Amino acid sequence: MEFDEVLKHYEKSKKTRRVIDLNDNNKNDVDLSKLNVGINIKSCFCKSEVSGVVGLDNLLQSTVEIKNHYSAIPFNSLFIEYKTFFKERDSNEDSGILTSKADMWLFQLDEISLFYPIEFLKWMYNNRNTLNLQDGYSNDESHVATGLIVPFGLIIPLYEQYVRQKRLKELKTQ
């Protein structure tokens, strides 16, 4: 959808729905909990819908960092930023997952929306050497961002590994 089309859709729809603004606080881009809505789990048609409904309800209570990845699809990978070199001030600083206070990160790939808990992204960063994840760079006029390159095909197996490790850690603390 082109930007002009998005604006037309927004102007038309804001008359019939509640709209919240994006944040400019260097912590997260949007706080969905401000909508103060949830999903009635009792309205599920079958038990197999429950986990998806709970996931959506959790998302509606989250803060979200929005990342647009128009270049991700040709490379079949996500770029997960963690460091930025600012050219003007000759300064290399933590950024991205190391500074975000959001609960979730949204990677927008054209019309596909991928949401990941920040803790999973941080786990990948902290275990990047063991997981053999490579760094990549995004360069523009004002800065160079450094981030993990995570192939789409690895995301689900990595998430499963993250969940197993998390459960093991929980069992050890009981």
pLDDT, one tens digit per residue, over 129-167 is 999 999 998 888 888 989 999 999 999 999 999 999 999
How many Å is the Cα radius of gyration of the chain?
A: 18
Decide: residue 121, CB within 10 A, 0-12 exposed, 13-18 middle, 19+ buried: buried
Structure tokens that stand for 73 in this block: 């699809």
Q: Please compute the mean of the pLDDT values over residues 69-87 and round it to a whole number.
A: 80
Per-residue pLDDT tens digits for 65-77: 888 766 556 678 8
3-state secondary structure (DSSP) of residue 95: coil
Return the half-sphere exposure (C-beta side, CA atoms, 13 A cut-off) of residue 41.
11
pLDDT score recorded for residue 140: 83
DSSP state of 26: S
Which of 158, 164, 12 shows the shortest CA–CA distance to 80?
A: 158
pLDDT score recorded for residue 118: 94
Per-residue pLDDT tens digits for 20-61: 666 666 666 777 888 788 877 777 777 888 888 888 888 888
Question: What's the whole-number average pLDDT of the chain?
Answer: 83
Residue found by looking up tokens 């523009």 in the block = 140
Give residue 157's region: left, alpha or beta (phi > 0; psi -120 to 50). alpha
